[in-house]
Structure 1
Amino acid sequence: MRIAVTGSIATDHLMTFPGWFTEQLLADRLDRVSLSFLADNLEVRRGGVAANIAFGLGVLGLRPVLVGAVGSDFEPYRIWLKDHGVDTDSVRVSESLHTARFVCTTDRAQNQIATFYAGAMSEAREIDLRDVAARAGRLDLVLVSPDDPEAMLRHTRTCRELGIPFAADPSQQLARLGRDEVRELVDGARRLFTNEYEAALLVERSGWSEAELLRRVGSWVTTHGAAGVRIHGEGREPLAVPAVEVAGVVDPTGVGDAFRAGFLAGTAWGVPERCAAQLGCAVAATVLDYVGTQEYRLHRDPLLDRIRTTYGVGCTASLVTHLRGLS
């Protein structure tokens, strides 16, 4: 199954604050916030939603097509992704702008304050999925993840025109999208991805009820952090999959992207949806053991052990064949 992942490609600057953000916020001064936090350390890592998801798919043995826009500083990052199974030949390189930057500070309670600089991402709207399909071959699924809004809309329209199944993952961009834009991005998606907060925001932004949204998508996958994942579909009982417990979370950045990679790999292999979600949760748990979104390593036996310990042996037989490529 050939999956194209469209969206942001960025460099992450990750900092750790040894206190609690909430202790610095004054309830009667929230209209005039001027704060700085002295960070203990700085980690510069590769990131961006599309690149993170594509990396995870590549590590799991698929060869995803990454679609996005970057600056001329991207070359070392490109080599890294290609070495991990990602097709980067459809990435556009800007002649004037830097690759996007994500700057994030995490406190002791794993709360985060972040800023995203789009940079070259603004040129993603110039990418035509027709050219991508002509170069890479038939696309079985296009994941439209957070990107330049015009690019997200263009990719969704092109999928409809070409009859390519697409998955909608508007997430961080919901805050800046209007009602008609949100509806266009979601309507007809084979899968819709959100976290718990984004699910409520999606209902508010789209003006559609949850029932109306479910009539317009194949399934709606919502991550709930430590509470796991719930998958809804019209006319069927919701599927709830608990999270894999992790003792001593190192860094939560990129955990949702890792889940998506695992889940999409499972569905690409044709395993039952419950098993795909369990794999996604196990990959997400692995990411929590590392600082950065692409620093983790997947090994077959520890990954299967995590699934077996949390969920029992039910899905391991469905997954083990597809994980043979892992060491």
Structure 2
Amino acid sequence: MTKYALELNNLSKKYGDFTAVDDLSLQVKEGEIFGFLGPNGAGKSTTIRMLCTLALPTSGSAKIAGYDLSKDSGKVRENIGLVAEKLIMYDGLTAGQNLRFFGKLYGIPKKKLEKRIDELLELIDMKKWKDTKINTFSTGMKQRINIIRALLAEPKIIFMDEPTLGLDPQTTFSVREIIRDINSKGVTVILTTHAMVEAEALSDRVAIIDHGKIAALDTPENLKKMLSDTDITIFKMEITNLTVEMIENIKSLDVVTALSKQDEHNIKISAKGPDSLEEIIDTIRFDGGKISSIANINDATLEDVFLTVTGKEIRDTPAANSS
């Protein structure tokens, strides 16, 4: 029988007339790395805040580690850790003092806590910095401490909200390795990110969220297969409006999904159909068009899927607490 770390049923969150999370339903298996991917204001962080008991749902329900989010919030908190987008630490304290402070809040016995602190500092290769004040650390070093702070109480589930945001490539690589190590020890990881590479590299499954709703949910590979039957082809040629119209009316094609004139000599065509490329070439030649080059691309990326699902419009409208 499949065991679920998270079960969401029609979970929603409204701020006045604004719906930040809209009727969200999904399940996350124990031991998964599950990614929430979406544009700014899509509802990712609001979802995490609700699941971590930091915001009350407007409607719907959820179970976290088997406990009801509303009825057993205390039990939920006992089983989760949170790596928030903002660092949760005190600059005037050393790394060890910060971890002791939070460990005491969790009620971890002193002897066990010291052992746990040393184990976690070893995990992130920072044991030598145990007695150094946080305010001397780089952003990357602070984030590594921030991650293990969330692991002190040995949670079953850890939520990570944009864990590599603003980090340099080396630190980003290090944090991703830490996430994989945490997950290999049986901890379920719930990740929010804007980074396509991160979502694809880390996640067993990805939910693309847009306007508070799930727009797509599957493994990264299966999401990319959504576009795998599409030929994205760049033609360099002499083109007429009649040629464009004729291509759009090719009956043997399943669908011409996009046809846009890029300049006076180039058009970009996305089409589905087993013989789409040959049909398009024949049509162009029939109308007297001259083709000087063709570039055919068949391998869709997660970014292609993301832009197809969410569109290309820049999200400039502020949406409080809804990222």
Q: Same fold (TM over 0.5)?
A: no
Give the TM-score band, short-chain normalised: under 0.3
Higher helix share: 1
Structure having the higher Rg:
2
Structure with more contact order per residue of length (Cα contacts < 8 Å, sep ≥ 6): 2
TM-score by length of 1: 0.27
TM-score by length of 2: 0.28
